[in-house]
Amino acid sequence: MKSKLTAIFSCFTGSITIITRSACILFLLSTLSLSVFSQSRTELLFTDGWKFFKGKNDASFAKDFDDKNWKSVKVPHDWAIEGPFDKEIDKQMVAIVQNGESKPSEKTGRTGALPYIGEAWYRKTFQLPGSIKNKRVILQFDGAMSEPKVFLNGVKVGEWNYGYNYFFIDVTDQLKAGENNVLAVHLSNRPKSSRWYPGAGLYRNVRLIIKAEQSIAQWGVSITTPVVSSTFAKVNIKTKISAPGATLVTTILDQNGKQVALDSAKTMFGNEADQNIKIQNPRLWSPETPELYTAVSRLYLGTTLLDQVTTRFGIREISYQAGKGFSLNGKVRKFKGVCLHHDLGPLGTAINIAALRRQLMILKDMGCDAIRSSHNMPSLEQLELCDELGFMFLAETFDEWAKPKVENGYHLFFDTDAEKDIVNLVKATKNHPCIVMWSAGNEVPDQFGAEGVKRAKWLQEIFHREDPTRPVTVGMDQVKATMASGFGALLDIPGLNYRVHLYDEAFKAFPQGMLLGSETASTVSSRGIYKFPVVKAAAKTYPDFQTSSYDLEYCDWSNVPDDDFVLQDDKPWVIGEFVWTGFDYLGEPTPYDESWPSRSSYFGINDLAGLPKDRFYLYRSRWNTAKPTLHLLPHWNWAGREGQVTPVFVYTNYDSAELFLNGKSLGIQKKSKATPQNRYRLMWMDVKYEPGTLKVVAYDSTGKAVAEETKVTAGEPYRIVLDADRKSIAADGEDISFVTASVVDKDGNPCPTATERLNFEVKGAGKFKAVCNGDATSLEMFDKPTMKLFSGKLVVLVQSTDKQGNMVLKVSGKGLKGGEIELTSK
């Protein structure tokens, strides 16, 4: 890699193998005929048939025990999400150094106040036919929280420390063909081991892979594109195999399944085949055109097919150059990104593709084109969806290195595990075209001193060794220290977390010729809650433990969005930003770390239920250049504020707009550079509240009225309204429809302050899964079919069963006309 990053980085996507649906797996593992495993390779998801027990570390649980009273669960599974919330669960006396604290104080909601701490066992019995005696059998864990120890038939076959990493174990020698096999996994979550809700259990998929003795290595296919143009691309495929004398044949298919290339490996280099294949007129991958190809790698001994692996990839070229910044396929662009923690709100950390897809579609509508996995390794499903939907990805590794942030954090394993954790991350994910950069860490205390510089260099070189096609960054908050030590100068890409006042100084000090806003804003707000007077303020708190949706409140160490917008627009050497955060997450309830009840974040552009806050439209007005944005705030139900100043903001990608209250014009506002807020928002600061109709009319550059939005003072709540993100879902027992419930008055006007309790019932081919209202102070459990509205809304999750058919969600509330919606599973 060239020191000034004038090199071009290219790469592709992750591998896909045959994955059987959960309903079929149970059949396969119990009644499978011997001929099924004559296939070259089979991959099964171990979803059903698990028993779960939360308790002590008893070694006998690995093999023989009475589990009749254990709970039957499906994996992925988060044992803690059902609660209850309890301030005593992870109460800590601690000073959060990252937040500038010097004296310890009591923190009660830092890890979500959910019961993730403790030990637990998962156990599954399965049987495979005698034909596997000539096969190799691998168990792959996509993530297990945490410190998993794996036993097969009473024998410990492997372990891993980092709960966010993927790992696999060859269990061929311990497996009993044609007999019952007992798989047991012990997990241990220590107190004071995280700065957010980490979840608990086998929260990602467990896979069983059966392949030939002579085969392609697990994660053994590596695809890059050293040459990319509009007329042709050179695809390089390196494949690690264990089959002397075998022939490797690779077929490349386009997105429609049409063959576009065929190549047989001409030369073997030890245990690796190296193929260079030309693709004519390639369709390039980008967020706007997420075109994907599939490489089918077939390994033959004579005419016998030994193994087959399919790898999905994209053809794209990435470049980072001083004075030019980041380019994708030859076009300069800036990252319009958000940071995401791994929990899925009311589902906890258990992976669910429908929930992940919904998050990404919401972000897509906002104009977001990049994701940073914070502060851990992403799920394979998230990366696959980012490939499909078109999101660039900054894949992160650790929140700690050798120096601790929390007592039982990753620093306990850093010296022994960091290298193997990075190796597994890169090997498992390097073919994903969405990944455009690696992050070796986030705000690590090791930013100070020579030892930290050495660690940064060591980690970066591991990434370079495993993947020379992508650069490496670190999210730095101690910018002055990294200037002095050389820490920031050695990174491929210097990443700044906040510190907007140091951007110019850092750019002059660092030699890379560019800076990345690796973490920006950390503005706080509660959906639909507005506080007065409206002033820009740091660390502002209120008796109700909410924050204001005027989007002017932030932390002592952070800033409002507009401060970052100025840097992105005015500094060509700033290559983009990753906003903290795209969605609220469980834990870290800043600025209420010391307050109870407060158990989830306020940083999200969308709330914990996935409902957009006002800030969503501020970002959309900048990022979504394909569609118009016109958003008016606050709501207009302010009984008791008659005659009082109630400022009105408009977030829009139009330059000017006129505000009307009950038909009277309150004037036209135009964007200006007077302040960062005037540059990106239209603000009427002197509006005095009176009930009625608030309307904004937007004008285009010629002065023509082109759009309008109104807010009406609503009457008493009267009727429940339901709106589903999808009315048709898959009958696989996993798919989810997210139904937004709100209330309106007799005239159909939304009631933005409603807090009525609603009750939920699902009949037919579906079931109630969870509910969330986005209130960070709510202690109501997600898995109970009742919850209060927050700011007039909540979201109900309806999950399919394995049966096709119709289902009906009925929602009721005292004194309200009930709502009903019909959904279908196919």
Q: Calculate ∠ Cα 636-639-643, nearest 5°.
A: 85
Which element (helix H / strand E) includes 472? strand 472-476
- Identify the three-state secondary structure at position 445: helix
Partnered with residue 517 across adjacent β-strands are: 577
Distance CA 765, CA 805 (A): 5
Q: Measuring CA to CA, how many Å separate 148 from each of 54, 669, 788? A: 14, 59, 38
Phi then psi dihedrals of residue 487, to 5 deg:
-55, -50
Tell me the CA end-to-end span of the chain in Å, nearest whole number.
50
**Pairing verdict, β 728-729 and 819-825:** parallel
- Identify the three-state secondary structure at position 489: helix
| Residue (of 193, 90, 98) closest to 406 by Cα position | 193
Question: Cβ distance 175 to 150 under 8 Å?
Answer: no
Distance CA 197, CA 195 (A): 7
Helical H runs in 406-502? 414-429, 449-466, 479-485, 487-490
Question: Cβ distance 587 to 570 under 8 Å?
Answer: no
Q: Any idea which residue has 């829009």 for tokens?
A: 652
| Residue (of 460, 478, 578, 443) closest to 3 by Cα position | 460
Distance CA 752, CA 774 (A): 14
Distance CA 374, CA 483 (A): 24
DSSP structural state of residue 177: T
Token digits of residue 643:
């005659």
Q: So which residues are the catalytic ones?
A: 443, 519
SS3 track for 764-798: ECEEEEEEECCCCCCCCCCCCCEEECECCEEEEEE
Token digits of residue 429:
């994910």
Q: Which residues are CB-neighbours of 664 under 8 A, at least 6 positions away?
A: none
**For 126, how many CA atoms within 13 A lie in the half-sphere containing its CB?**
25
Count other C-beta atoms under 10 Å from residue 102's C-beta: 6
| Residue (of 609, 822, 820, 823) closest to 720 by Cα position | 820
**Pairing verdict, β 819-825 and 805-813:** antiparallel
Q: Any idea which residue has 């071009």 for tokens?
A: 8
Q: Calculate ∠ Cα 622-623-627, nearest 5°.
A: 90
Q: Any idea which residue has 């930013």 for tokens?
A: 447
Residue 97 amino acid letter: V
Centroid of chain to Cα 532: 34
Helical H runs in 280-413? 353-366, 380-389
Partnered with residue 822 across adjacent β-strands are: 808
Centroid of chain to Cα 600: 16
Token digits of residue 116:
């993730």
Token digits of residue 145:
């929280």
**Pairing verdict, β 92-94 and 247-253:** unpaired
Distance CA 615, CA 561 (A): 9
Question: Cβ distance 414 to 400 under 8 Å?
Answer: yes
Question: Cβ distance 785 to 767 under 8 Å?
Answer: no
